Amino acid sequence: MKLVTAIIQPHRLDDVKSALEAAGVKGMTVSEASGYGRQKGHTEVYRGAEYTVDLVPKVRVEVLVDDPDASAVTEAIVSASQTGKIGDGKVWTVPVDAVTRVRTGETGAEAL
């Protein structure tokens, strides 16, 4: 199994959700995040005083998938969240040792 984690632009979340549903993903965890990559945040001006806001709002999407689905899910996220502008985010995948469904006690791929 694999954990696919995506950091995306907040305004792309709805499209990413639809794309994941279309790819057959049954569940996901979404959390608000803040951070920066190469875009290095942005500046805001309040009463003439310029502030560098380096941590900008992002959304983190986490999806647990079976090994063969990982690349399709990654592609679905990338194509749904890409705007081509700096700050679009990143997607990465890591191996997962074990998964248990809390309600039933099912484990492994059954629990996805």
Partner 1 sequence: MAADAFKLDTGNTAWMMTSAVIVLMMTVPGLAFFYGGMVRSKSVLNMMVMNFVAAGVVGFIWILYGYSMTFAGNTSGFNEIVDNPFKYFGLAGLTDDNSLLGGSGVPALVAVGFQATFAVITVGLITGAIADRIKLGSWVAFSAVWVTAVYFPLAHMVWGGGLLSGDGPIASALSTPIDFAGGTVVHIDAGAAGLALVLILGRRKGWPKEPMRPHNLPYVMLGAALLWVGWFGFNAGSEGAADGTAGRAWINTFVATCVAMLAWMATEKFRDGKATSLGAASGVVAGLVAITPAAAAVDSYGAMIIGLFAGVLCALAVGLKFRFGFDDALDVVGVHLVGGIVGTVLIGFLATDQQGGWFPDGAERGLLYGGGVTQLATQVVVAAIAVVFSFVLTYVIGLVIKAVTGLRVAEADEVGGVDFALHGETAYDTTPATGGRVKEGISA
Judged by the rule CB under 8 A, the positions of this chain that interact with partner 1 are 44-53
Whole-angstrom distance, CA of residue 20 vs CA of residue 104: 24
Name residues whose C-beta falls within 8 Å of residue 59's C-beta, 6 or more positions apart in sequence: 7, 8, 9, 10, 12, 13, 30, 31, 32, 33
Whole-angstrom distance, CA of residue 55 vs CA of residue 40: 8
